[in-house]
Structure 1
Amino acid sequence: MNLMALTLIILIVSWEYPNKQGLGCNVISEDDTSNFLAFLQELRSHEGAQNLTLSAASSIVPFAGPDGLPSKDVSGFAQVLDYVEIMNYDIWGSWSNAVGPNAPLNDSCALPANQQGSAVSAIEAWTQAGLPANQLILGVASYGHSYYVDKNDAITMTSPQASSAGYASPPGAAPLAAYPPFDKAQQPLGDSWDSNAPAGVDLCGNSGSGGPSGIFNFFGLIEKGYLDVNGTALPGTGFRYDDCSQTPYVYDPQSQTMVSYDDTQSFAAKGKFIADASLAGFAIWEVAGDSRDMLLDAISSAIVKQ
């Protein structure tokens, strides 16, 4: 087959967890990663494939080896892939034991129990395993996860109103506790894109729990009255900006909903990191979750400035 006859220019392969459970019912093999590489090598050998931009999406750690642990050598993938997109999001969510950053830039400055992975640790792991930084794309998120947090756990008068970097809480915003517990039995409904669908059958054939995902896109936080049109937390909410992970949190005391998300400040920090680390660029999930291109402008401007 002549791949170029299909006018195919870019191909993204999204086998995100070779030799790891993804859905929970997929068949895995200790040969998954080596077979994945063999497939890509075969693909590259076809006529016209040398002109194809080929990339793969992956988690924050290198593809799993035969032992199920992150591979220590993925240099073979650097020979056949133009780029690897590191999906640095969904690090914390409704499955976690506390409210944490959805897409942390860094977590080495957090307590050990709160170090679940970040952009910094991901780039270090992939480059040490043989993937050059200029072939790595940082995945960033225009959405965040919501949690039901009791007001007694969410708001603390001992929490600073300004970060050490000078990111002050908006006027009238109450300071929030770091990594508070939440009630897993009460998942808040997210923005207008979220669905409170009844329980059904998942792709594995199991009965699902149904209900909302609790996801808020950046535009949704504005629509639902957490943020103003400029992306600033509104008076009457709770707010915290975590310097370590470069993550904002906003809290509605009435619904007792806390959201870990990304804003222009956190996107600018990621843009600076992309430039400083000489990465290939960024990929956003998803651009429609932005509002008036504020997030896109923030990260793009930060990259250009460096």
Structure 2
Amino acid sequence: MEFATIEQTAFIYYHFLAVSGVPANFLTIVILSRGGCGLSKGITLYLVGMTTVDLLVIIFNVIIYYLLSYYFPGSPLNYTSMIRINEVINYVVVDCSVWLTVAFTVDRFVLICCQKFRQKYCREKTAAVIIVTVCVVFCFKNIPLYFAFEPVYVINNVQWGVQFKATYFTLPGWATYDWFDTVLNPLLPYFLILFLNALTVRHIVLVNRTRRALQGQCNIQNSDDPEIQSRRKSIILLFSISGAFIVLWMPYVVFFLISRITDSHYKADQYSDPLLIADYTGDMFQLLSSCSNTCIYALAQTKFRQKLRIAVMYPFSVIIKCVK
């Protein structure tokens, strides 16, 4: 099968995501679960939840949906019923990934900006309840999608492939569901994260200005202030994760808004169409967000880098000991 340039790029890219994303996310889950990274139990729970969902995105959305279905075109993976299930799972894990990032952003916003409320909210129990609630809600929310697809063709009474039913775009019920799904992901979480980060930056600027005025410019240096040091660590982690989310989802959101506002469409076989290229690019960047958190932890957290280095070097240490 001959691929167009954008298809070849995406195909190679998805192999890269699969090879690097699975071990990176798995290793991150193990390291964070063992603790000792200098993070509170609540924030560790959020990060483990986010990384677990990101791992599932790579497994179901990249490996099974894109790669295995290509390498095994005649396998049951391409039966209509199997693709329907996989489509629902893909929507669930992507929704959970996005909204756990929102939940993490809210938690950091409360910690930094809401001193009276943070003792009650920023706890391990609250994090556990929110993570479970997000997963359950989006599991139920995406169940109707199973019935939105129909087979592309039928061979010997076996249904193959999936496509949206024509009624999905015409019936009021499906149209309402589609807009509800659109608002929940990506519009609301994307702009909610932008809004919360803007409020956080505003709060930080005002607080730092007030602290400098109270302390005196020549009295205590900001770098020696424990409160500012603690806040700085939370800010680095918050802006690293939510900032990466905003950047990596931006092509997808821009493409989505342009295509919806202008009511533009493209044909699946017109690979030179800028709209199709933009759609492919948005999907690739969006899926990259499922691999980026490991790099963010490594760059932002000293203790995590140390533990990651030990974990990576452990197999080599065992081999060296065996050789000796």
Structure number having the greater strand percentage:
1
Question: Which of structures 1 and 2 has the bigger CA Rg?
Answer: 2
Report the TM-score when normalising by structure 1.
0.25
TM-score by length of 2: 0.24
Higher relative contact order (CA 8 A, sep 6+): 2
